[in-house]
Structures are given as structure tokens and as C-alpha cells.
Amino acid sequence: MIEVRGQGLHSGRDALVRLHPSEGPVRFRVSGQEFRPLASMVQDTTRCTVIGSKGLRVATVEHLLAALFLKNFWYGLVVEVEGPELPILDGSAQEWLALLERFQPQPVTLVGLGEPVRIAKNGGEVSAEPADEFTLAVTVAFPHPKIGYQSFASPPETLSSVATARTFGFLKDLEALRSQGLAHGASLDNTLVFSENSFLNPPRFPDEPVRHKALDFLGDLYLAGAPFAGRFTVHRGSHRLHLELAKVLELRAGERLASKAG
């Protein structure tokens, strides 16, 4: 068992996470109750992904889920959480990834996508097309001199290069976010902060924002509940849009498993 403590990005509150090796699919455990991280368990998508069950909620699960995705870790772990939100740590997934190194995931095979999926809303778009392996291409467009249009594309071998990309935000949004109860734990230690024309802390890579969007997408896609093969593309994604795709795929994952069992 491994313990991690830290502050939540939005609540600003401390949380304790225990990772336990365990038989069966990856589950969260809150107040003694267990539930699987699935799109159907999502409670909120405002600035982070919140999952839960029967009044229990855990916020900002996407970076740990992205690390699980990158490790292809679907069975053999329970994530016990005390607190309202997972620790933001350094704002990326690298610490989660390092912690998961100490567990051995069970091998799993990719699930076929079936029919292509395309969801477009409010200027954003996510799509998935059948392919033999998993590939991802992400683009973002922000009217900011240090971001603008950025694109990231990766075959499976180099996908983990997104793990160190941090959460980013704009200084001008901070007050409004805090008045909505968000970003109370945001600091220069866990967030790449953009000022009006520049940044307050240096980016780890020039394209850190698009890489972080790719990371968030992987975390949200994990909520499909199974590793899908496919050519995935995201343009101007959001947790909400990512989750719409994950919901479609969660249903397909269920059908695939049912047809195998039948």
C-alpha cells in the first residue's frame, strides 16, 4: 500500500490517497464504499472531472486516471480517498505515474472501436475512428500570444511524453474561479499561469498547454472503462466533451463484454 497526501487544486483542501493492490477492476473507495471510475459515475465536469456514487464525490480525478491510462492499468488496484478532491501534486501526472511504477498491472487487450464516433459542440470536437492501435491527435486554440494554435500528435510509444505537462490557467480568470469555489489550491507550484501577454512561471515545453489537454483527454477517456483501439482526435476539447465520448464508449465496452460472455 502507498500513501500520498496533498492539496486539491479547486477545494484547496488536504486529501489522503492510499493505493492498494487488489483483485478485480480498478476501483475508488470513499467512506468504505467502492465504485468504478466510469463515465456513468461522473457528477460534474466544471474545470475538472468529478466522479462519485450515492452522495460521495471525488473531484479532479483526471490526472491519476491519465496515469492509469498511460500504464494500461485496468485491473488490480483500489484508490482509497479521504477528502473531497485528489491532490493536485505538481499539476501534471508524473508523480502518479511514478507511484504506479510500484504496482504490476495485469495485461489487457485493446477493444475494437466499432463504428466511428464524432461529437461536435460549442466550437469543440472529439472523434474516434477504427484503427489497429491507439493514436491521439489534439489541437487547442487560445487567443493568447504565448499559446495561440498548438497541436500534439502521438503514436502509442511516445504517448507518455504528455505526463509531465502541468495544469494551466489564466491570471485574469482567477478571481471569477475563486468566487465559484474553484482554484483555491492553485499556485505557481502546480499551475502554469498565463498573465495578459506572457506567463508568470516558465513552461516546461513551449506546447505545454496542448500536451496537458492531451493528458486530460486520456484521463477522461479512461472513464470508458476499457482500452479502445482507434484514431482519436480532439479539437478545443473540454472535460464535458471528452466525457460525452467516454459515455458512448462505456456503453460499447459493456456490449463487447456482454457479447463475449454470451
Residue numbers at the binding site for Zn ion (CB under 5 A): 167, 216
Helix (H, G, I), strand (E, B) or coil at 160: helix
Give the count of alpha carbons within 13 A of 88, CB side only.
26
Backbone angles phi, psi at 233, to 5 degrees: -130, 145
CA distance 114 to 230: 9
| CA torsion, ordered 162, 16, 58, 87, to nearest 10 deg | -30
Place of cell 475538472: 48
Taking the complex as a whole, the smallest distance from the CB of residue 216 to Zn ion amounts, in Å, to 4
> Is there a catalytic annotation at residue 144?
no
**First vs last C-alpha separation in the chain:** 36
Side-chain half-sphere exposure of 155, counting CA atoms within 13 A: 2
Q: How far is the CB of 66 from Zn ion (least distance, A)?
A: 8
CB of residue 78 vs Zn ion: minimum separation in angstroms? 23
Largest alpha-carbon pair distance within the chain? 58
Q: What share of the chain is helix, strand, coil (3-state, %, to 5)?
A: 30, 35, 35
Residue 20 or 187: which CB sits closer to Zn ion?
Answer: 187
CB 112 → Zn ion: shortest distance, Å? 28
Give the separation between CA 1 and CA 10, rounded to whole angstroms: 26
Sign of the CA dihedral 172, 174, 175, 181? positive
In the complex with Zn ion, the residue whose CB is nearer, 22 or 92, is 92
3-state secondary structure of 20: strand
Residue from 63, 235, 239, 242 carrying the catalytic annotation? 239
Query: Shortest distance, CB of residue 63 to Zn ion, whole angstroms?
Result: 6
For residues 69 and 229, which CB has a smaller minimum distance to Zn ion in the complex?
69
Nearest to Zn ion by Cβ — which residue?
A: 216
In angstroms, what is the minimal distance from the CB of 7 to Zn ion?
Answer: 15
Looking at the Cβ atoms of 166 and 252, the one nearer to Zn ion is: 166
Tell me, rounded to whole angstroms, the distance of Cα 83 from its chain centroid: 19
By beta-carbon proximity to Zn ion, the closer residue of 134 and 168 is 168
Which positions are annotated as active-site residues?
Answer: 239
